[in-house]
């Protein structure tokens, strides 16, 4: 077993951000979402984790925090100069600092209980500042009650077909005198034109594909019983899925009366895209089901 090198004497020094150099060999990429989360964290807690730099002011750890601080208008940040590592060790340390944190795992129950306790306090800040979004926080807290072990509701189980499917795209079925069902693509205005036949809806309930792969998935929350959707089943990126939902929301807005009440279902991972799609069409969502 290798012996650890002697612990260096570390000191915090405040350095102007403009003096710090980005490491061109830093393999970690930081997106807009993380940058926004870090800015909220720094605003709430302050810049309390020093940036690690070498003797030439090259950042070894803390690139994302430095970028977030600069975006907030902070001009200098606390740093620790690392002098005891060789050039090779410093390069390896940069990778290790990013990678080793990924190997940790959450204790789901302890995390959920901590989230639950924090959610009950009258905080002076949004709980989302910790990096978890509210839908995920609610989901984790709900799981404290344990997985659903009750028998499946028979009403949720689709009956086995007794004959081959005969419905094709474009077919319209009349359900009594007041209701109609069309088999079609909700992204196409012609689908709505044929279904509505000149009428306008006062409200709409939409349950578009969630862009999350579900085929064969099973969990304590139940089992899926359907094939994958033809599209938006996990293969779209953020921009593509936003455009997908924008097309749907545009039709929902166009074929409903003014003052539309729109209820939409979404997976919590993609609420942002759903809101963006609605916003681009001037549609204000009344309720979101997650």
The pLDDT of residue 289 is 54
Sequence-separated (6 or more) residues with CB below 8 Å from residue 279: none
Architecture in CATH for domain 12-102: Alpha-Beta Complex (3.90)
Within 48-188, residue ranges assigned H as helices are: 63-71, 87-102, 108-120, 134-142
Q: Which residues of 65-94 are buried (b: 16+ CB within 10 A; e: fewer)?
A: bbbbbeeeeeeebebbbbeeeeeeebeebb
What is the residue-level pLDDT of the chain in tens, covering all 290 positions?
566 777 788 999 999 999 999 999 888 888 888 899 999 999 999 999 999 999 999 999 999 999 999 999 999 999 999 989 999 999 999 999 989 988 888 899 999 999 999 988 888 888 889 988 888 888 888 888 765 545 556 766 767 777 777 888 899 999 888 889 999 999 999 999 999 988 888 888 888 888 887 544 333 334 444 456 678 878 888 889 999 999 998 888 888 887 777 788 888 788 888 888 888 776 655 555 55
H/E stretch holding 60 reads strand 59-61
The full set of domain ranges for the chain reads: 12-102, 108-145, 201-289
Give the three-class secondary structure for 277.
helix
Tens-place pLDDT, residues 149-194 = 455 567 667 677 777 778 888 999 998 888 899 999 999 999 999 9
DSSP 207: -
CA–CA distance from 192 to each of 196, 251, 262 (Å)? 6, 7, 16
Q: Which two tokens stand for residue 92?
A: 């390896």
Instruction: Give strand ranges (E) for 167-289.
Output: 172-175, 179-182, 201-206, 218-219, 222-223, 256-265, 287-289
Q: Which two tokens stand for residue 42?
A: 């720094």
The pLDDT of residue 217 is 39
269 by Cβ neighbours in 10 Å (0-12 / 13-18 / 19+) ranks as middle
The pLDDT of residue 69 is 96
**What is the pTM assigned to this prediction?**
0.53
Kindly report the backbone phi and psi dihedral angles of residue 40, in degrees, each rounded to the nearest multiple of 5, phi listed first.
Answer: -65, -40
The pLDDT of residue 228 is 62
The pLDDT of residue 153 is 65
R_g (Cα) of the chain, nearest Å: 26
Tens-place pLDDT, residues 13-48 = 999 999 999 999 888 888 888 899 999 999 999 999
């Amino acid at each position: 077993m290798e012996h650890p090198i002697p612990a260096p004497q570390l000191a915090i020094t405040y350095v102007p951000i403009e003096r710090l150099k980005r490491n061109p060999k830093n393999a970690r990429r930081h997106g807009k979402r993380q940058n926004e989360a870090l800015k909220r964290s720094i605003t709430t807690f302050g810049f309390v984790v020093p940036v690690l730099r070498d003797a030439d002011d090259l950042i070894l750890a803390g690139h994302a925090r430095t970028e977030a601080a600069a975006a907030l208008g902070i001009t200098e940040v606390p740093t620790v100069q690392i002098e005891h590592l060789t050039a090779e060790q410093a390069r390896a340390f940069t990778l290790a600092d990013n990678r080793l944190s990924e190997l940790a795992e959450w204790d789901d129950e302890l995390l959920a209980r901590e989230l639950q306790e924090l959610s009950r306090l009258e905080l002076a800040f949004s709980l989302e500042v910790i990096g978890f979004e509210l839908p995920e926080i609610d989901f984790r807290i709900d799981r404290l009650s344990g997985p659903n072990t009750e028998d499946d509701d028979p009403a949720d189980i689709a009956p086995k077909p007794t004959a081959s499917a005969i419905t094709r795209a474009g077919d319209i079925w009349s359900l009594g005198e007041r209701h109609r069902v069309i088999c079609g693509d909700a992204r196409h205005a012609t689908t709505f034109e044929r279904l509505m036949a000149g009428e306008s809806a006062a409200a709409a309930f939409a349950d578009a594909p969630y862009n999350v792969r579900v085929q064969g998935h099973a969990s304590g929350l139940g089992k899926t019983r359907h094939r994958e959707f033809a599209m938006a089943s996990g293969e779209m990126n953020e921009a593509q899925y936003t455009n997908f939902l924008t097309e749907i929301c545009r039709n929902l807005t166009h074929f409903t009366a003014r003052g539309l009440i729109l209820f939409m279902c979404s997976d919590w991972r993609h609420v942002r895209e759903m809101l963006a799609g609605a916003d681009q069409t001037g549609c204000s969502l009344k309720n979101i089901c997650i």
